[in-house]
Amino acid sequence: MAKREILVCGDPRLRRKALPVRDFSEDLAQLVQDMVEAMVEADGLGLAAPQVGEAAQVIVLRREDDPDAAPVCLVNPKTVKAEGEVQQTEGCLSLPTLYGHVLRPESAVVAGYTPEGEELEVTGEGRLAQALMHEIDHLRGKLFIDRVLPDSLRWLVPDPEEEDGYRFEPTDLPEAMAAFERLRQKREERGGR
Ligand code: ZN
């Protein structure tokens, strides 16, 4: 099991602004390793440090275009360029099984540092641009539900009758927030963080 639990929406730590990393230390390398582990275990495409309770400007991303490639890690990422606009379906490991439509740039260039302190620039198109913007949002305490297009929120519900084994069920923000609050309480009772 991953060492760090992914926080669920409603946790105030998800709404804090993350601070720039100044010390490219072993602690940072450990945080990145823990984040990659938590992301892979949860089968997510990306993760930001606030999602594991750390107010640090660190994001990790899986290369969906190249699943065998090592995950990308960016420290202190800044958006250098964002072009175009496209409607995408989005989800988040901190809002499990909830999906909605958001507008994201078609392409984006993000500059930052590797965990070793080397400069790194990442250019993303389509889903990678979307993932970069989603994770950078987390560093500002923003979640995709803050940008979601009206009436597009839905739950992914298991359904053996369906060909894919699941279906989507419409929901709204108050109902979704209440569901995450119940999930958080359940975890707390279990002794989770
Ligand atoms: Zn997220």
pTM for this model (two decimals): 0.94
The verdict on whether 162 is a catalytic residue reads no
- Residue owning tokens 């072009």: 83
SS3 176: helix
Closest CA to 20 of 79, 81, 75, 60: 75
Which of 135, 162, 163, 189 is catalytic? The answer is: 135
Map out the domains of the chain with their CATH numbers: 12-148 (3.90.45.10)
Q: How many CB atoms lie within 10 A of CB 113?
A: 20
- List residues, by chain if needed, whose CB lies under 5 Å from ion ligand 1: 92
Q: Give me ligand 1 centre to Cα 41, in Å.
A: 15
What string of pLDDT tens digits covers the 193 residues of the chain? Answer: 678 999 999 999 999 999 999 999 999 999 999 999 999 999 999 999 999 999 999 999 998 777 788 999 999 999 999 999 999 999 999 999 999 999 999 999 999 999 999 999 999 999 999 999 999 999 999 999 999 999 999 999 999 999 999 999 999 999 999 999 999 999 889 875 5
CA of 162 to the centre of ligand 1 (A): 27
